[in-house]
Amino acid sequence: MEAILGNSPQLSETLRAYIELTKLRIVSLLVFTTFTAMIIAADGLPSLAVLFPTLVGGALAAGGASALNQYIDRDLDARMTRTARRPLPSGRIAPINALLFGLSLVVWSVLVLATTVNPLAAMLALAGAVYYVVIYTIFLKRNTVVNILIGGGAGAIPVLVGWAAVTGSLSYEAWWLFAIVFFWTPPHSWALALLVNTDYARANVPMMPVARGEEVTRLQILLYSVQLVLITLVPVLSGTLGAIYLLAAAVLGAELVRLSVCLLRDTSKAMARRAYKYSTMYLALLFLAMILDRLILPL
């Protein structure tokens, strides 16, 4: 018993390190967007028999993809202050263990979704993981300034998984949700890039501030924020969502654009940090508004 208790702190640290590999905060946001898509597709709360395995499968796919991302990027992470304490560069987890862990999570995701939900949801979850690991991490991140712009599709696929889980197909409403997350990703990620520009430069990663400069990045953040706000209004114009969502989208969007304009004038790290934090909250609140709109004012 003493031996077991003596190993408990070490076991706890190991479990914490593996949880870090999954980037739990990002996974939580992706699962929330999946949940939102399911509510809209079901015109209310979907059955637990579909809801629970979809969210579990989606979380496994996102967590597995994050672990594989960190396995591939372990050399870059070791050179950047922001990521040097991650499990792999810090030596808390061996690379082969991270690789097997990530692959296992993705495989379990596909099995869960294919056997308990439907094949389309399983294929989309797998496509999202492959998109993030292969297209973004391996081919785009280190080689082109449009890495975030194209790679943003990976984070938008979970809404398609949620929609497919409920309906067994993909309609134009699902693709609008996809577009919202897709166009949200550049201003969100570029705001972070402004904060850690030195890190990316040291690691030779061609993020927008490194490749094109901070002034161009700030302008791009504004332009993509405006595009995003316009896209968020499409579900209202099509009749998919109503007044509650419209009010939230307008207020949240106005503040997003305002902060983007402020970011052009105020080039401080504090302003970039404020824009980055708000962009995270923006997406969560926008999707929460979708849920409230559908549950309180169902079509």
Distances (CA, A) of 96 to 15, 71, 109, 217, 251: 16, 8, 20, 37, 47
Cα separation of 72 and 77, whole Å? Answer: 10
Name the residue among 294, 296, 297 with its Cα closest to residue 43.
294
Alpha carbon distances (Å) from 159 to 2, 193, 232, 288: 48, 25, 15, 14
Q: Rounded to a whole number, what is the largest CA-CA distance in the chain?
A: 65
Is residue 148 within 8 Å of 184, Cβ to Cβ?
Answer: no
Give the whole-angstrom CA distance, residue 114 versus residue 49. Answer: 13
Q: What is the mean pLDDT of each run of 10 residues along the chain (299 residues)?
A: 52 92 95 97 94 98 97 95 93 96 98 98 98 96 92 95 97 95 96 93 91 95 97 90 95 98 95 96 97 80
Contact 203, 76 (CB under 8 A): yes
Q: Under DSSP, is residue 203 helix (H, G, I), strand (E, B) or coil? A: coil
Q: Residue with structure tokens 């499990």?
A: 87
DSSP annotation of 1: -
Q: How far apart are CA 266 and CA 252, in angstroms?
A: 21
**Domain range list for the chain:** 14-169, 171-299
Residue 131 Cα to chain centre, angstroms: 12
What is the Cα 159 distance to its own chain's centre? 11
* DSSP, res 44: S
Instruction: Report how far residue 178's alpha carbon sits from residue 111's, in angstroms, rounded to the nearest whole number.
Output: 24
DSSP track, 91-105: TSS-HHHHHHHHHHH
Tell me what pLDDT residue 220 has.
97
Hey, what CATH topology would domain 14-169 get?
Answer: Tetracycline Repressor; domain 2 (1.10.357)
CA angle 204, 205, 206 (to 5 degrees): 110
The pLDDT score that the predictor gives to residue 4 is 39
138 token code pair: 């391996």
Query: What pTM was estimated for this model as a whole?
Result: 0.93
Predicted pLDDT of residue 298: 55
Measured in degrees and rounded to the nearest 5, phi and psi for residue 62 equal -65, -45
- pLDDT for res 139: 94
